[in-house]
A and B are shown apart, each in its own frame.
Chain A
Amino acid sequence: MNIVVCVKYVPDAQSERSFEPDNTTERESVDGLLSELDEYAVEEALAIAEAGDAEVTVLTMGPEAAAAAVKKSLQMGAHKGIHINDEAIAGSDAVATSRVLAAAIDKIGGVDLVLTGLGSTDGTMSVVPAMLAERLGLPQVTFASELSVDGGTVRIRRDGDVASETVEASLPAVVSVTDQINEPRYPSFKGIMAAKKKPVETWSLADLGVDAGEVGLGAAWTTVVSIEQRPPRSQGEIVTDEGQGGAALAEFLTSRKFA
């Protein structure tokens, strides 16, 4: 079975964030890493591979530094990596991202399962898996908190806010997984050493047959008009409980008409 895991290189959420004059995310000064939520997809692919026979390819798009996301996935145990690196990609929105990833998955060919995380930790839109499925003409079974592959069928559990659903589809399919599905492994020393010898291919848009005019900031179907930093919340009254803390809390809530 051929599994492709789509991963994203994101700015560290703990760092100071800012924006460029064109309202895109400032990435230069911020350390990046493999999006934490994608580790669950990599782990799930590895678990499937270990239980049966599968090749796990990790796919990313982004600038030079995004190679780190591929490297981390290979260290965890993925077999090979593909990095789409092209200047024209900068500023791409979800629509363009899905265009590029779909073209890459087509080029890889013979893919049985496309795995993704539930969303990126920077953009957090969670729409790319659905867009990928739409473009590839594949079923999507998304937000899986449990996943099993049996023959040509994938079955998941999906926990929504009003119901829990069991969804199944025949392969090939696009599947996104939540952070409830597993506990991602840390790369072992052996894994880190082995990753150095694993093949990583770098593809350009031309390699994919995607026109540069279809992607990037200029081709985005959405635009950021303005961005403002929310004024930091100022700290209100803090009391230390010396026997009357609960009463003080009750008084605050009553004064604000919550109680």
Chain B
Amino acid sequence: MAEVLVLVDHVDGTVRKTTTEMLTAARRLGEPSAVFIGTGFDAARDTLARFGAVKAYRIESAEVTDHLVAPAAEALAQLVERTSPVAVLLPSSLDGKEIAGRLAIKTSSGVLTDAVDVQPTDGGVQVTKSVFAGDFEAVCASTHGSPVVTVKPNSIAAEEAPAELADEVVEVTVSDAARTARIVERSAKQQTGRPALSEAAIVVSGGRGTGGDFGPVETFADTLGAAVGASRAAVDAGWYPHSSQVGQTGVSVSPQLYVAAGISGAIQHRAGMQTSKTIVAVNKDPEAPIFEMVDFGVVGDLFQVLSQAADTISGS
């Protein structure tokens, strides 16, 4: 059976949920081969095997990890050359999309980004993606080379399928050109103890209506075990970090439940949350466009509504 390369998304060997989702999608297309770049493979091994990876290519050279995306694209291109995979799956993250862009040019392959579904076709791959702020769904295919597909987190349900995993350390050659963008400093994001925004099953977001006080939004999020997001207005005002921004120029989320508190629902925000399964909004303004798309809405003051809801849930 033909191989499907999956670029492992991990932090020092802790495999992110996106990877298990990509391995699940890869199994539909062929035999998943994990491509693990960096250190910490031993910590990742079990998870990769549990979700069906048959092979793992380990690339541990610091030449690859100390530089931005270009060496990773070169390493993957060498593996594509060697294995002629049915497809290469990468996470739809900043790095993932850029590696995909470079890989596509290197291997003369079509690139498809932000896939919410991946299915096999006659000898090929079809992906589904949301376009135009989530108003349309497009089914796309690559017609050239080994399709390079970036997969949107939280879109495909990860399913276990334990496999015998054989790993192999791969030496790759990195050109001088690929080493020109150096990462000179890296500081890990402060841990909030909450789930990662792009992977969370529940997201609670605050906007202009918070007036800068995210306390009730955070408390309510913690009651539900949710991640906290913010609208662009809240981020621009300096109330919440940009890494938490939900929308077109921030993170695009697709959780089981999305709660918008004090967010009017401009198209740029909708673009980042419209594919959420259930949507709830709390807003003072009954005319706020967000109410047009909710499964449940409360017209009222978010401070009172969220705290009463949190108390009710905690007490029950």
Chain A residues in the interface with B (C-beta under 8 A): 13-14, 17, 19, 23, 37, 93-95, 98, 118, 121-122, 124-131, 133-135, 137-143, 145, 155, 158-170, 173, 178-180, 220-230, 232-233, 235-241, 244-254, 256, 258-259
Contact = CB atoms under 8 A, between A and B. Distances in A.
B197 interface: yes
Given A13-B268, A98-B105, A249-B305, A160 B293 contact: no
Contacts, number: 279
B33 interface: no
Interface string B285-316: 01000011111111111001111111111001
B308 A247 contact: yes
A240 B312 contact: no
Interface stretch (B43-51, B65-73, B163-171): B65-73
A160 B111 contact: no
A241 B298 CA distance: 6
A13 B134 CA distance: 12
Contacts of A258: 202, 224, 256-257, 278
A220 B104 CA distance: 12
Closest 3 interchain pairs by CB?
A246-B308, A241-B300, A127-B101
A37 B271 CA distance: 15
Nearest to B180: A139
B40 interface: no
B296 A169 contact: no
Contact of A137 (B108, B136, B177, B299): B177
B249 A178 contact: yes
26 contacts: A13-B133, A17-B135, A125-B114, A126-B98, A127-B104, A130-B98, A130-B99, A134-B102, A141-B181, A145-B242, A159-B243, A160-B93, A167-B183, A169-B181, A178-B249, A221-B144, A225-B141, A233-B293, A235-B292, A236-B295, A239-B299, A240-B298, A245-B298, A245-B300, A251-B312, A258-B257
B137 A170 contact: no
Contacts of A222: 110-112, 140-144
A155 B308 CA distance: 48
B105 A226 contact: no
Instruction: Determine chain B's interface SS by DSSP, over half rule.
Output: mixed
A84 B180 CA distance: 30
Most chain A beta-carbon neighbours within 10 Å: one of B130, B134, B137, B309: B309
Contacts of A162: 11, 188-189, 196
A162 B92 CA distance: 14
Given A160-B243, A244-B308, 14 more contacts: A23-B138, A126-B113, A129-B98, A130-B69, A130-B100, A130-B102, A162-B11, A164-B189, A169-B181, A221-B110, A227-B136, A229-B136, A247-B308, A253-B309
B143 to A, nearest CB: 5
A240 to B, nearest CB: 5
Given A94-B101, A222-B142, A245-B300, A159 B137 contact: no
Contacts of A131: 101-102, 104-105
B83 interface: no
B198 to A, nearest CB: 6
Interface string B247-277: 0110100001100000000011000001000
B278 A256 contact: yes
Given A236-B296, A237-B297, A140 B181 contact: yes
Nearest to B276: A233
A127 B298 contact: no
Nearest to A143: B94
B186 A165 contact: yes
A14 B145 CA distance: 36
Contacts of B114: 124-125
Interface string B176-219: 01001111111111000000111000100000000000000000
A235 B282 contact: no
A164 B241 CA distance: 12
B159 interface: no
A241 B316 contact: no
